[in-house]
């Protein structure tokens, strides 16, 4: 078993979902998502029961979706309610799975497991995305790598000064042997695991520099993960005693949704509490963040995955562990435990 099913997975940003059906593969299953007549989001199996046509090419009428191939019409409950070819006969197996959805933190979430177990309290915390004090840019990326390798990447930001020297870090031109290391602390709060990084004195990175005018400040970054694959990062720069700059807060979210075993939807958004009405500043933030994720992280993680021979299990691979891997390692263990517990329950149900 590869995935935790009883968990919320982000399927996109709420404002990007409308009455036009959208197809998305999540956890190896193809879904169709659209908004019905009251604007509520509907998620169901995305291929027709008849000849497996992609329903995202179909047409939505009220809450129903009509298959683009031979016209079977399904209701929001996934049940076929009209067959244009059968004198009113509806094949009993013409029924699609439907999924529980939630709109939260400006994103759409799909519960891929047992509908009865869907629990809104397990949604990740709300962030600056819902605050009028912040300006945010939202991105929907896709990375051709296993989601667990991206969780490893995000929970171990010691890679930033090496890999992101001219974007998220401030180490451009520095010799790789001289890169300074932050103070590091691991925290666990229930199932939420956190990596905290701290510099007493640090020049701002290119991402922070437009808003932080002092040459140096105090830097804190805290990445938090919660099962199965949602993360949030709080980055802030505070002025030192006597500094002129105001503090800058730049939180981001990193919602990972496995598409298949080796590709991942990466819904990410980054916010800032300075210069919040500037579209130039939005573009600067978007440009640096997408450069970091797509031109720096992605090629590195892809090469690692290739050199791992396609096995994303770092324990089976005998990976060396460092002190700063504690959050990533614990996240892997916790996720594995939850997946095993879930498939154990499933086997019991199947046996009974």
Closer Cβ to ligand FES, 68 or 210, answer by number: 68
* Binding site partner of 69, from Fe ion, ligand FES, none, Cβ cut-off 5-8 A by kind: ligand FES
Q: Which does 67 bind (CB under 5 to 8 A by kind): Fe ion, ligand FES, none?
A: ligand FES
Bridge-based pairing of strands 8-13 and 22-26 is: unpaired
* Owner of token pair 């990533």: 328
- Contact residues toward Fe ion (CB under 5 A) are 297
Q: Give how far Cα 180 sits from Cα of 164, 177, 254, Å.
A: 14, 9, 25
Q: Which residues bind ligand FES (CB under 6 A)?
A: 48, 50-51, 53, 67, 69-72
Smallest gap from Cβ 145 to Fe ion, in A, equals 12
Contact of residue 50 among Fe ion, ligand FES, none (CB under 5-8 Å per partner type): ligand FES
Residue 71 CA neighbour count, 13 Å, CB half: 5
72 binds, among ligand FES, Fe ion, none (CB under 5 to 8 A by kind): ligand FES
Give me the least distance between CB of 318 and Fe ion, in Å please: 24
Query: Closest CB to Fe ion among 43 and 289?
Result: 289
Virtual CA dihedral for 212, 251, 321, 306, nearest 10 degrees?
A: -100
User: What's phi and psi for 261, nearest 5 deg?
Assistant: -65, -25
Residue 14 or 302 having the CB closest to Fe ion = 302
Tell me the DSSP string of 9-42.
Answer: EEEEEGGG--SS-EEEEETTEEEEEEE-TTS-EE
Residue 107 or 154 with smaller CB distance to Fe ion: 154
Could you tell which of ligand FES, Fe ion, none binds residue 297, using a CB distance below 5 to 8 A set by kind?
Answer: Fe ion
To Fe ion, the closest distance from the beta carbon of 150 in angstroms equals 9
The count of other CB atoms within 10 Å of the CB of residue 192 is: 17
- Nearer to Fe ion (CB atom), residue 123 or residue 224: 224
Residue 336 CB, nearest approach to Fe ion (Å): 23
Residue reference for tokens 């019409």: 73
Q: Tell me the closest approach of the beta carbon of residue 218 to ligand FES, in angstroms.
A: 60
Q: How far is the CB of 98 from ligand FES (least distance, A)?
A: 17
Q: Give the whole-angstrom CA distance, residue 292 versus residue 322.
A: 23
Tell how strand 217-226 and strand 248-249 pair up: unpaired
Cβ 45 to ligand FES, closest distance in Å?
A: 12
Which residues, including other chains, have CB under 8 Å from residue 128's CB and lie 6 or more apart? 134, 136, 249, 251, 271, 273
CB nearer to ligand FES: pick between 84 and 180: 84
Q: Which is nearer to Fe ion, 60 or 289 (CB)?
A: 289
């Amino acid at each position: 078993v590869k995935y935790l099913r009883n968990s919320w997975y982000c399927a996109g940003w709420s404002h990007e979902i409308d009455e036009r059906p959208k197809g998305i593969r999540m956890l190896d299953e193809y879904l169709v998502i659209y908004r019905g007549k009251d604007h509520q989001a509907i998620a169901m199996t995305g291929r027709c029961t008849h000849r497996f046509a992609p329903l995202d090419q179909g047409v939505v009428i009220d809450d129903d979706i009509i298959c683009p191939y031979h016209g079977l019409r399904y209701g929001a409950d996934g049940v076929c309610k009209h067959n244009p070819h059968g004198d009113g006969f509806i094949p009993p197996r013409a029924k699609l799975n439907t999924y529980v959805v939630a709109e939260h933190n400006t994103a759409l979430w799909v519960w891929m497991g047992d509908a009865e177990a869907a629990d809104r309290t397990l949604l990740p915390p709300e962030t600056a995305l819902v605050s009028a004090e912040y300006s945010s840019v939202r991105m929907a990326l896709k990375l051709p790598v296993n989601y667990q390798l991206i969780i490893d990447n995000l929970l171990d930001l010691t890679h930033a000064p090496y890999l992101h020297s001219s974007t998220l870090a401030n180490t451009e031109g520095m010799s790789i042997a001289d890169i300074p290391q932050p103070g590091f602390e691991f925290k666990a709060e229930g199932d939420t695991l956190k990596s905290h990084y701290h510099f007493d004195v640090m020049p701002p990175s290119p991402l922070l520099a437009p808003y932080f005018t002092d040459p140096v400040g105090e830097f804190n970054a805290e990445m938090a993960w919660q099962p199965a694959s949602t993360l949030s990062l709080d980055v802030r720069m505070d002025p030192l005693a006597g500094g002129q700059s105001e503090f800058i807060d730049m939180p981001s979210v990193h919602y990972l949704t496995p598409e298949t075993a080796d590709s991942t939807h990466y819904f990410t958004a980054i916010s800032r509490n300075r210069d919040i009405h500037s579209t130039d500043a939005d573009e600067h933030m978007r440009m640096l963040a997408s450069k970091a994720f797509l031109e720096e992280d992605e090629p590195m993680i892809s090469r690692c995955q290739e050199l791992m021979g396609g096995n994303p299990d770092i324990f089976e691979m005998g990976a060396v562990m460092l002190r700063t891997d504690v959050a990533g390692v614990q996240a892997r263990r916790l996720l594995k435990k939850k997946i095993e517990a879930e498939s154990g329950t499933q086997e019991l149900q199947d046996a009974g």
